[in-house]
Structure 1
Amino acid sequence: MLVREAMTSPVVTIPRTATVRQAVRVLHEHGITALPVVDEPGRLAGIVSEMDLLKGVFDNDPRAFLRPVATPAAPSPRLVEDVMTRDVETVRPNTDVAALAELMMETRIKSVPVLAGSAVVGIVGRRDLIAILARCDARIRDDVLAAIAEYGPDGSTWDVSVRDGAVELQGRADDSAQRIAGVLARTVPGVTHVSIHT
């Protein structure tokens, strides 16, 4: 499965000159956890997450402490560009979702912008990947059968069973038809493994 099949698009972005408060509102209104930050021509300049936006925005409540707590001398960050992450991991629409998942696990990044050229065309978050894995086996089976019927070679018939996202193909077909059926099954969202038995 490719990133373009998993990404959220169109993507909600925010300019680097927006205030932290504006970014908080955008995240809240859209129910998302991160925003790609763009500059004037619309190129990716960074990314801002919920955690970035929480830096220094709350003053201490004196009721929570026995002794008075000094308030910070520096004011809270005001602009998105003051709190955003500038060194951003990105992927392309044709990146394999397995490679993206590996990147997210290794780096502990929750959201990754998707670029086509220099344009931000989508974003993939952990929630997007979880949503794909949550697809029911019956729907995955229907989609595998539909993909093979539409794009597979004529004359090959397959019995398809799915358990927890793992697809098992059974049928009589030559090596070429087997490879094609396996590839088609792997493109279906929610498929975690494909085995072929003839």
Structure 2
Amino acid sequence: MLRSVQLKDYMTARTVTINAEAEMAEAIKLIIDNKISGLCVVDDSGRLAGILSELDCLRAILSSTYNQDKIGRVRDYMASENLVVANPHEDITDVAQDMLLKNKRRRPVVEDGKLVGQITCRQLLSAVMAFNS
């Protein structure tokens, strides 16, 4: 059975983050080393600045190879406009439905303007499995 319906009880609070000024090589290493599909990009005060996915990293590598240039910085490839975020007190099923509707695998969780976690499809699946047990 679900412990609650609030997102905060299922989200990952220890989100792997990176700064927009970091080199893409550092971001790629973080993604590979942590076996995750993307990173939340934060500013120096912990505010969400964007999201960087594996596909963004692949785009950076291919662009670099094609143009025979350096890979660049995170800010050059991250998504930063029209970011959809969640609040830790939102209903987990509402967030899951919206993620399905928007075809997104992860959603940053923000409270008072600061990143406090992330919810992914993996956590949602775990919550549903716990509910069905």
Whether these two folds match at TM > 0.5 is yes
Consecutive unaligned residues in structure 2, runs of 5 or more: none
CA contact (8 A) 1:113 1:123 kept: yes
Compared with structure 1, are the counterparts of its residues 30 and 73 closer, same or farther at alpha carbon in structure 2 (3 Å cutoff)? closer
For residue 31 of structure 1, what is the aligned residue in structure 2?
35
4+ aligned runs moved over 2 Å, structure 1 = 71-77
Tell me the CA shift for residue 74 of structure 1.
6.3
1:2 to 3, 6, 30: 6
Percent identical: 28
For residue 66 of structure 2, what is the aligned residue in structure 1?
72
Higher relative contact order (CA 8 A, sep 6+): 2
Tell me the CA shift for residue 42 of structure 1.
1.9
Name the TM-score, length of structure 2 as normaliser. Answer: 0.86
Consecutive unaligned residues in structure 1, runs of 5 or more: 60-70, 141-164, 166-189, 191-198
2:121 to 113, 126, 135: 126
For residue 105 of structure 1, what is the aligned residue in structure 2?
100
Superposed CA RMSD in Å reads: 1.9
CA contact (8 A) 1:77 1:83 kept: no
CA contact (8 A) 1:56 1:76 kept: no
Q: Larger C-alpha radius of gyration, 1 or 2?
A: 1
Is residue 89 of structure 2 the alignment partner of residue 85 of structure 1? no
Distance in structure 1 (CA, Å) of the matches to 2:60 and 2:20: 18
5 Å-filtered alignment, 1:146-161, equals none
CA contact (8 A) 2:24 2:71 kept: yes
Name the TM-score, length of structure 1 as normaliser. Answer: 0.59
